[in-house]
Amino acid sequence: MPLHRLLRLSPTAVLGLWHRTETAAALGALLPAGAPYSALLPPTAGPERQGQWLAGRVLAHTVAAALWPGAPALWVRNDAATGRPYLGGPGVPTGAVVSLSHSGAWAAALLATGGRVGIDVELVRDKARRIATKFLSAPELAAAQVVGTDAHFTLLWSAKETLYKLAERRGLIFKEQLLLDSFVPAPAGEIPMELRLADSQSRHRICYSQPAAGYVLTYCWEPGGPIDIL
């Protein structure tokens, strides 16, 4: 089974990475019997998309079993209003949260008992660089162009995606409300960021690494909530 890694961030939070090599049918067979995923699988998805979707759910169950031994009969659903995933089913721990992501052959999941979570994995492509003016502010764009690589622009996009998931609000404007502070790029590290909402401003630290050649991973778990800016 291509479970790549389980990373315990704390006694109450676990991150998982899955390198997908299985077919959609093989992944479906790994899901718990009776879980309602056949009805939840996107009906218009092709084989590749189905495989990504199922890998995320298989990984979520794997992480849940590591985080909560004797894991409850849970399943992953998506909120109709926001689209974000949540855990349902009998015996799900109070305050349990989940964030999922997939790109190319990789799936990522972050589960925790309480707090807020966000995770994103991205295949490095030139797309983030081509659309940079849509998600980077003018100062952010100027700083990014100094580095200039597709990998760097993909990392910045991924960091904003993770903060967007953490914020749990639709309609945020990436270049105005999800803001990057300066940092020195490295193979792994943290990116300080600021979230600007209509009623508050807060600071966050987005962790990043390279799970494999040609991919970037960003994530954040906040057990105690954000640091508000006075």
| Cα distances (angstroms) measured from residue 103 to each of 96, 124, 216 | 24, 10, 10
pLDDT attached to residue 230: 44
pTM score of the predicted model: 0.93
Q: Which CATH class is domain 3-114?
A: alpha beta
Per-residue pLDDT of 109-130, as tens digits, reads 999 999 999 999 999 999 999 9
Task: Give 65-69's long-range contacts (Cβ < 8 A, gap of 24+).
Answer: 66/6, 66/8, 66/14, 66/16, 67/12, 67/13, 67/14, 67/111, 67/112, 67/113, 68/93, 68/113
What mean pLDDT comes out for the span 88-92?
83
Going from N- to C-terminal start, the domains of the chain cover 3-114, 120-228
Q: What pLDDT is attached to residue 229? A: 56
Render pLDDT for 70-79 as a digit per residue (tens, 0 to 9). Answer: 777 888 988 8
CA distance 6 to 116: 19
Give pLDDT tens digits for 12-35.
999 999 999 999 999 999 998 767
- pLDDT at position 68, please? 92
SS3 123: strand
The average confidence (pLDDT) of the chain is: 92
